[in-house]
A and B are shown apart, each in its own frame.
Chain A
Amino acid sequence: MYDKEMLKHVLSAYGPSGREETASEVIKSYVAPYADEVYNDRLGNLIAVKKGTSGKKIMFSAHMDQIGLCVVDIDEKGFLRVTNVGGVNPIISIAREVVFKNGTRGVTFFETEKGAKETTMATLFVDIGCESYEEAAAKVDIGDMCIFAGNFVEMGNKISSPYMDDRIACAALIEAFRTMKSEHDVYAVFTVQEEVGLRGAGPAAFAIEPDINISCDVCGMGDIPNCVRMSVKLGEGATVKAMDSSVIVPVKVREFLKNAADKRGIKWQNEILRSGGTDTGAAQRAGKGTFSGCVSIPTRYIHAPIETIDVRDYEAAVALLRAAAEEKELPRV
């Protein structure tokens, strides 16, 4: 049984890219009791360390930032004009509930006279119930960011919620970190600013100089009606990444993960993500380079506020991350 309250808490913590402090505090509260050391680096990455005896370092990374909208202007009637933080579809963003860090709530709409076909971030706006610039500026400042609201919807084995990307992986890393027994130094790194270009993971990996990095993120799937073909299915296990836009995972790393899974009977699938990058790539090229791989949780409807996962895949990811940490031999050059 997974820790549902922890998952809900982690899913709902505010933390758009570059504004991850609240999410970092929430995650810290869950990992600190199990860590020898917990700290934030200069970029804001949260790093929890559990010391081992082998002299080797294994790093796990899951990004804690989330996509959202940033206020670029407040007009004279109190409407907020916004731009995207990360990959946000402007049409999907219409008629949504949003929330700011200070609790201010609003709804989105667009300039209808131009028609939906011309909807871009420039014609989207946020209504926070204000009638003037002054009234709105008292609640929200230019540069403030909002995130999309939504519910935790349980549907059999599946759960739908905003921000499964990548809080489901943060929760998986928390669960694994709590229970893992490793001979190595384990670094659980909750990275910042992944959604705006994998900006946090590289500096963290540079500082840690791990023998191997395993990222944990979400990946797409091919089991919804009439979608682009992809072998990944919900409910068939965590994935072992072969490739995405940011990385080609070394064969040695993939074999390491597959063996760790097979030894323990953990269900896994092969994953090739046609488009989209992950911290896996940023960590691979940090410093003099490091072995880097990725375990993903298959997710439907990524970057919409109804991202959907299968609890069995989540549990498989937890088991696989723990298994990787418990392997005595790490991949060697």
Chain B
Amino acid sequence: MAYDKQMLKDILDAHGACGREKGVRDTIKAYIAPHADEVYRDAMGNLIAVKKGTSGKKIMFTVHMDQIGFLVRSIGEDGFVRLINQGCINSARCIAREIRFENGARGVTYFETADKTVLTAGITSQFVDVGASTKEEAEAIVKVGESAVFASDFVEMGSRIACGALDNRICCAAMVEMFRAMQSEHDVYAVFTVQEEEGMRGASPAAFGVKPDLNITVDVTGTGDIPGAEANDVVMGKGPAVKVKDMYITVPEEVIAFLENAAKKANIKYQYEFAPGYTDAGPVQRTGAGILSGGISVPLRYLHTPVETVDVRDYEETVRLLCAVVAEKELPQY
């Protein structure tokens, strides 16, 4: 497989919980800057890379770079650290995990076993063991407010990869690959957004600043091809999904048709996405006087766990579709 594995690993490994995206922003910037005319960040912390065209039109991609994570809420006299989650994380999935703080410290999580079970122990009944026996010892390791994420490995399984933070770093990497390979007449804006996981907070201000003719949000989407899954026609290995609807947007027909057309011309197989979650596509649509907005999604299993899984073939086809989209001379009209 020809994809740039080291780049993907570096982007996956970079720290970037909600509102604490500096690490991942710096990592992505280093990879994309050589292929951009301009790279800058806005007040929100969004990273924006621009490649100038000649058509006078602007196409924008929103790709969130933050990941689900935690903040240290308090440190007890006993030296155990208490967390609050950032983004939607199942409480039971937070137990018995290795976590990695932004400052490099590591810890392991567990719960109050005297009166809770794995299923009833919410985040407030859980704690992190950082190896400290007193508050002072713990405070020498982490401070209240410190950011943390799940530690995870890069697990290769045939054409599949499992790793935490594939939501949405796989799409950040796809955007870098697109910038390396693309040909476009338009101004292309790659916007790596902040704080998507806590309510899509970064994308709209970025869109307001860029004022694009078209926004395409690139994110991941759940699949229905695992045992006992809720009904969902998206499957692994059958190509990227063109968003029709999620909880915050019904994509305009002309945008769907534009993406379908670009895919067909490039002979790329695609699927349709109807997701029970949300992405940056919705908030961007309602920015300013309104923006044409759609989405391309990479199928992903086991969302918001440290074993999120994607198929490398879907990743590579997503990069091809993104390149096909920016190569289109005519953007959707309304």
Interface residues of chain A, those whose CB is within 8 Å of chain B, are: 75, 77, 79, 89, 91-92, 94-97, 105-114, 116-117, 123, 125, 127-131, 135, 149-151, 153-158, 160, 223-228, 235, 300-301, 304-306, 308
Bound-complex Cα distance A66 to B97 (A): 19
Bound-complex Cα distance A97 to B164 (A): 11
Interface of A is mostly: loop
Q: Is the CB of B228 within 8 A of A306?
A: no
Q: Is the CB of B131 within 8 A of A109?
A: no
Contact of A129 among B129, B133, B160, B225 (CB under 8 A): B160
Sample (21) of A-B pairs whose CB atoms are under 8 Å apart:
A77-B225, A79-B226, A89-B118, A92-B96, A94-B305, A95-B302, A95-B307, A107-B302, A110-B228, A112-B229, A149-B153, A153-B106, A158-B131, A224-B129, A225-B76, A225-B112, A227-B114, A235-B133, A301-B96, A304-B110, A306-B97
Question: Of the 9-residue stretches B26-34, B43-51, B87-95, which lies at the interface with chain A?
Answer: B87-95
For B78, the closest partner residue in chain A by CB is A225
Bound-complex Cα distance A131 to B223 (A): 14
For A108, the closest partner residue in chain B by CB is B307
Q: How many residues does chain B have at the interface if contact means C-beta atoms less than 8 Å apart?
A: 55
Contact of A107 among B118, B131, B309 (CB under 8 A): B309
Asked if B315 lies at the interface with its beta carbon under 8 angstroms from chain A, I say no
Q: How many A-B residue pairs have CB under 8 A?
A: 149
A301-B96, A306-B98 given; name 8 further pairs at CB < 8 Å. A91-B119, A105-B157, A155-B107, A156-B130, A156-B132, A157-B131, A224-B129, A306-B109
For B230, the closest partner residue in chain A by CB is A113
Q: Is the CB of A95 within 8 A of B305?
A: yes
Asked if B277 lies at the interface with its beta carbon under 8 angstroms from chain A, I say no
Q: Is the CB of A109 within 8 A of B98?
A: no
Residues on A with beta carbons closer than 8 Å to the beta carbon of B156: 105
Q: Is the CB of A92 within 8 A of B106?
A: no
Asked if B227 lies at the interface with its beta carbon under 8 angstroms from chain A, I say yes
Bound-complex Cα distance A155 to B142 (A): 12
Bound-complex Cα distance A123 to B226 (A): 11
Residues on B with beta carbons closer than 8 Å to the beta carbon of A224: 80, 110, 113, 127, 129
Q: Is the CB of B80 within 8 A of A97?
A: no
For B228, the closest partner residue in chain A by CB is A111
Enumerate B52-103 residues with CB–CB distance to A below 8 Å.
76, 78, 80, 90, 92-93, 95-98
Top 3 A-B pairs, shortest CB-CB distance: A111-B228, A155-B131, A129-B157
Bound-complex Cα distance A110 to B109 (A): 21
For B107, the closest partner residue in chain A by CB is A155
Among A106, A107, A108, A135, max chain B CB count under 10 A is at: A107
Interchain nearest-CB distance for B92 vs A (Å): 5
For A139, the closest partner residue in chain B by CB is B158
Residues on B with beta carbons closer than 8 Å to the beta carbon of A130: 158
Interchain nearest-CB distance for A121 vs B (Å): 13
Asked if B267 lies at the interface with its beta carbon under 8 angstroms from chain A, I say no
Known: A156-B137, A225-B78. A127 touches B158 (CB 8 A): no
Bound-complex Cα distance A192 to B206 (A): 60
Contact of A105 among B80, B92, B155, B301 (CB under 8 A): B155
Residues on B with beta carbons closer than 8 Å to the beta carbon of A114: 228
Q: Is the CB of B112 within 8 A of A227?
A: yes
Q: Is the CB of A117 within 8 A of B158?
A: no
Q: Is the CB of B227 within 8 A of A300?
A: no
Bound-complex Cα distance A226 to B131 (A): 17
Bound-complex Cα distance A79 to B302 (A): 14
The digit string for B221-248, where 1 denotes a CB below 8 A from any CB of A, is 0000111111000001100000000000
Interchain nearest-CB distance for A114 vs B (Å): 6
Asked if B4 lies at the interface with its beta carbon under 8 angstroms from chain A, I say no
Q: Is the CB of A301 within 8 A of B108?
A: yes
For B93, the closest partner residue in chain A by CB is A95
Interchain nearest-CB distance for B46 vs A (Å): 30
Q: Is the CB of A226 within 8 A of B113?
A: yes
Asked if B306 lies at the interface with its beta carbon under 8 angstroms from chain A, I say yes
Q: Is the CB of B90 within 8 A of A116?
A: yes
